Amino acid sequence: MKSLILNGLTLLLFCIVTETSAQVKKTVIPVKTKKTNTPQVATKSIAIELLRANTEQASRMISNELKAMGVQMESIEEESIYDNRKNGEQIGKLLQVRTSLICSHKIQVDIRANASDQVQSIDWYLNDVPKEGFLALEKMLGYRKWQPISPNLYLNNNLIADVGEMGSSGEDNTKLTYAINLSKTDYFVLPIRTKIFNTDSLTVHNNPEEAGQSVVQFLNGQGMKFLYKSSNTILSSYQGKGISNVNGYTTTYMFAEGTSITVSSNKYQKLNAIDFSFTDPLVHNKIKKWFRLNNWTDGGEGDEEGDLIYSKNNLKCTNNDKEKYIRFTVSPYVTDIATRYQNTDPIDASSLVGYYLNMEKATLKTFLAENYLTSIKVDWPNRNMTYNAGAYPHDFYFKSPADSLCYVSYEYQLSDTWSRIIYFSTGDKAYYEKMKADLLKNAEDPKSKVIVNYSDKQFDKSRMYYISIYSKEKDIENKRKKQEALLAQQRHEKAEAEERARLKAEKDAKTSADIQKVGDILIQGLEQINRKKGNN
């Protein structure tokens, strides 16, 4: 039955393609001009109408168009993305709403709208569909009539269509997976006085917008033609119940010949990274030489094949000749404690235990330094933090959901009498209660490797609640050793008691024999005396 439906859909879509192809097209006669570039003509299409609509209007248009193609909308899911909470706020400002239209034939459409309900982008996901179906959808959207920038990228004034083919996910090679992104560009004018792009001056405190302007000016100076700037893409993490929190932002600057720059910032809009992506190996090599990476510190190979790492001060550069990209990752200086602390996020119960149990000690040290606040000492009553290069590397700090200072120590000094591996403390009562409940629940699993101990009373001096986590294996081993030591001691004490009893018995026997001997002597003496008296 499923194959019949899919075959029917294929036939219907093929008919739509044929019918659309047969339509008469009007000829557009361009006005003669001295300019060599053909002026961009605004072409009417459903894609344009969708990007000018609100969520409800766009949803209805998509539903009607897909229904005409034999595709039914089955359900709708919503996700609201909120900004980082400010002091006293229960929830941050609404930034974006994602409405997902779940359709038959493995099709999903995600509509992203701003807080004013104006559509910003629409993502189409077509999973395992025949080529004819994809072509029919393209005809319906109409973006192929837009100005082609590359084989998969089309521009129409401030609108972009980005098309991707991901191949086949199953055994049927005639059915492929496609993604189509329809979005708006952002207004962009390069200021007359733009800061010169220089990696030596990159810090997390650089304005991401100004960093993007500097890169555009830099590449213009390298002879590359700037095309457009994308609108901000919001990165988020799902919190449940249709709610997500912002994690960061990315903005892409597109140039001719397939060169693009993506500027990333965190949820506080502090600069995180600048990514250069190329399609032309000559252009990639030219820009790479300009950065003089050979003068940076060699950091070895990265995670991806072809990644070569270089570092300088607060920057890490990843260059990949095979994939043709250069990535600059910007970190706070180690002495910038306020920014490093701000960049931290709360840890959950599974991660708290999992990091210790599943990561090598050296790897964990690096991970903690990159994601949490390390190398500091704390004046707990006043919550003052100062840099301390000699601090224990597996002690780390972060802020709770209520922005309260938290502290964790991963302990490796285990012994026959000490089995604690993790010490967790926080002044946030709600966070403490959730952490405690989650840890205790996880510890109930027979496969759990930890034992949890806690105190619901704050330390008076630090005003912190604490939880101690012990290694179950080490605790069992220590208890076994303690029991063995106790039994050995009991055996030793028993042997000593038996020895004392034996010695006492020997002594008593000897004493008894001595007394008997003395008694015998006395008796013999008395008998001799009596015999002498009798003779007299």
Count the residues in the chain.
536
What Rg do the C-alpha atoms of the chain give, in angstroms?
38
Q: Pick from 105, 255, 128: which is nearest to 190 by CA?
A: 255
Which residues are within 8 A (CB) of 188 and not within 5 positions of it... i.e. 6 or more apart?
Answer: 216, 228, 229, 253
Distances (CA, A) of 535 to 92, 149, 216, 528, 532: 129, 151, 144, 11, 5
The DSSP secondary structure of 261-278, one letter per residue, reads EEEEEETT--EEEEEEE-
Distances (CA, A) of 386 to 156, 313, 337, 369, 383: 53, 20, 7, 15, 10
What pLDDT score does 257 carry?
Answer: 85
10 Å CB burial of residue 160 (0-12, 13-18, 19+) is buried
Q: At 279, which amino acid appears?
A: T
Could you report the average pLDDT of every consecutive run of 10 residues in the chain (536 residues)? 38 35 33 35 76 95 93 94 74 91 94 95 92 91 91 91 83 83 92 89 94 95 93 90 92 93 94 96 95 93 92 95 96 93 94 95 94 94 92 95 93 87 94 96 93 88 91 84 86 88 83 77 77 69
Q: Is the dihedral of CA 59, 62, 65, 68 positive or negative?
A: negative
Determine the Cα–Cα distance for residues 95 and 79; give it in Å rounded to an integer.
Answer: 11
Determine the Cα–Cα distance for residues 347 and 356; give it in Å rounded to an integer.
Answer: 13
The single residue listed with the structure tokens 């559509």 is 119
What pLDDT score does 433 carry?
Answer: 96
Which residues are within 8 A (CB) of 447 and not within 5 positions of it... i.e. 6 or more apart?
Answer: none
Determine the Cα–Cα distance for residues 134 and 176; give it in Å rounded to an integer.
Answer: 9
Q: At 150, which amino acid appears?
A: S
What pLDDT score does 515 carry?
Answer: 79
Residue 288: CB atoms within 10 A of its CB come to 18
pTM, to two decimals: 0.76
Distances (CA, A) of 256 to 159, 202, 240, 278, 464: 16, 25, 41, 10, 57
Q: Pick from 109, 90, 87: which is nearest to 99 by CA?
A: 109
Residue 400: CB atoms within 10 A of its CB come to 21
Determine the Cα–Cα distance for residues 29 and 23; give it in Å rounded to an integer.
Answer: 19
Determine the Cα–Cα distance for residues 63 and 57; give it in Å rounded to an integer.
Answer: 10
What pLDDT score does 39 carry?
Answer: 41
> Which parts of 218-372 are beta strand (E)?
226-230, 233-240, 243-255, 260-266, 271-277, 297-301, 307-312, 315-320, 325-330
Determine the Cα–Cα distance for residues 365 and 374; give it in Å rounded to an integer.
Answer: 9
Determine the Cα–Cα distance for residues 195 and 454; give it in Å rounded to an integer.
Answer: 54
Determine the Cα–Cα distance for residues 253 and 227; give it in Å rounded to an integer.
Answer: 8
